[in-house]
């Protein structure tokens, strides 16, 4: 028996997902088929690769060693596929893009405009939180990712794209909405509706407030900006969200941007890829297209009169 590329792919999926069932879903296989491949792989090597801890499939020492080399094999295989695609025309390729939830509203427009110019291109768009995007980048899954600045130590290449200002919002009936100017300390006693721990937006907010010696009082944590907007509109507290995500609510008067000292927090969306990743012609064309379109997507923060 020889170790096959498919077995390496299955092993890597189980190791990442820590579950035969989730790996099977990811690979579009049945759970028994995945389990059988793992058993055959362990029998061929003569060593256990996994040990069960509750519902999780955890790697043994030998499994961790194999995962290291499996990652190298799969990255090399992906580069081979890109090289082969490089012999083809841009208009006949496939583009896999992953974006953070806050970038979804403009990323879909970019993809729509791009595919109108390249009608033969097929697109996969995955909208996920920051933690999932970093895992995907580590596994080399998407061609490129649009997200906030990538953290250090992940072997990633991050390129600033367009401004992503974070502003303080309130419902029109909130007492703070009646003020034309607010010191930072004026809002720190208020309740906030804010993103969950681990999100890029939450990290940026906490870092910004900490620099001024403050931390916000969180009444509710939300996993999306849409739910934050609804909660703020309902009067559950103040929110801090990307300006790009609230234009409809501002136009209709359902939300107000507060003029607060030290705000907006100036952040940027970035194009992020794994260092050393060889982009296909389609992915490179989309990367160039996004760079050219960035200026038209920039938004100037709205300051109340």
Q: What is the pLDDT of residues 128-143, one digit of tens each?
A: 888 888 888 887 788 8
Q: What is the pLDDT of residues 3-33, one digit of tens each?
A: 888 899 999 999 988 899 999 988 889 999 9
Assess whether 119 and 143 both reside in one domain.
Answer: yes
245 and 96 in a common domain: no
Residue 106, beta-bridge partner list: none
Long-range contacts from 206-210, C-beta under 8 angstroms, 24+ separation:
208/262, 208/265
At residue 83 the predicted structure's pLDDT band, cuts being 50, 70 and 90, is: low
Reported confidence tier of residue 230, pLDDT bands at 50, 70, 90:
very high
CATH of the domain at 12: 1.10.10.10
* 305: in domain: no
- The CATH number of whichever domain residue 279 belongs to comes to 3.40.190.10
Owning domain of residue 39: 5-85
Query: H-helix or E-strand containing 37?
Result: helix 31-45
User: Is the alpha carbon torsion for 242, 244, 246, 250 positive or negative?
Assistant: positive
User: What pLDDT is attached to residue 167?
Assistant: 93
Q: Is residue 100 part of a domain?
A: yes
pLDDT at 257: 93
Q: What is the pLDDT of residue 229?
A: 92
- Is there a single domain that holds both residue 149 and residue 185? no
Largest CA distance in the chain: 75
Q: Are residues 119 and 174 in the same domain?
A: no
Residue 111 sits in the same domain as residue 234: no
Looking at the fold, whether 111 and 175 belong to one and the same domain comes out as no
Q: For the chain, how many structural domains are there in total?
A: 3
Check pLDDT > 80 for residue 301. no
The Cα 188–Cα 171 span in angstroms is: 17
Residues 216 and 232 in one domain: yes
Report the alpha-carbon distance of residue 215 to residue 174 in Å, rounded: 20
């Amino acid at each position: 028996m020889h170790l096959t590329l498919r077995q390496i792919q299955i092993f890597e999926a189980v190791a990442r997902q820590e579950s035969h069932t989730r790996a099977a879903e990811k690979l579009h296989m049945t759970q028994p088929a995945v389990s059988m491949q793992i058993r055959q792989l362990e029998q061929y090597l003569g060593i256990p690769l996994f040990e069960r801890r509750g519902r999780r499939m955890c790697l043994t020492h030998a499994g961790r060693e194999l995962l290291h080399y499996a990652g190298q094999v799969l990255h090399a295989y992906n580069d081979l596929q890109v090289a082969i695609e490089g012999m083809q025309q841009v208009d006949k390729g496939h583009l896999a893009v992953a974006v953070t939830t806050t970038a979804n509203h403009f990323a879909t427009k970019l993809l729509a405009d791009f595919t109108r110019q390249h009608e033969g291109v097929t697109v996969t768009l995955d909208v996920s939180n920051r933690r999932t995007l970093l895992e995907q980048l580590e596994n080399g899954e998407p061609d490129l990712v649009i997200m906030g600045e990538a953290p250090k130590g992940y072997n990633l290449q991050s390129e600033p794209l367009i401004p992503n200002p974070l502003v303080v919002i309130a419902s029109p009936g909130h007492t703070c909405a009646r003020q034309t100017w607010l010191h930072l300390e004026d809002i720190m006693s208020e309740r906030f509706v804010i993103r969950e721990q681990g999100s890029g937006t939450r990290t940026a907010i906490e870092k910004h407030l900490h620099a001024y010696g403050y931390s916000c009082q969180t009444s509710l944590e939300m996993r999306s900006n849409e739910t934050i907007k609804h909660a703020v509109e309902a009067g559950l507290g103040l929110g801090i969200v990307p300006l790009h995500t609230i234009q409809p609510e501002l136009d209709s008067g359902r939300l107000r941007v507060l003029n607060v000292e030290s705000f907006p927090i100036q952040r940027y969306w970035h194009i992020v890829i794994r260092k050393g990743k060889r982009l296909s012609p389609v992915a490179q064309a989309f990367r160039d297209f996004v760079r050219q379109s960035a200026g038209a997507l920039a938004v100037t923060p709205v300051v109340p009169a």
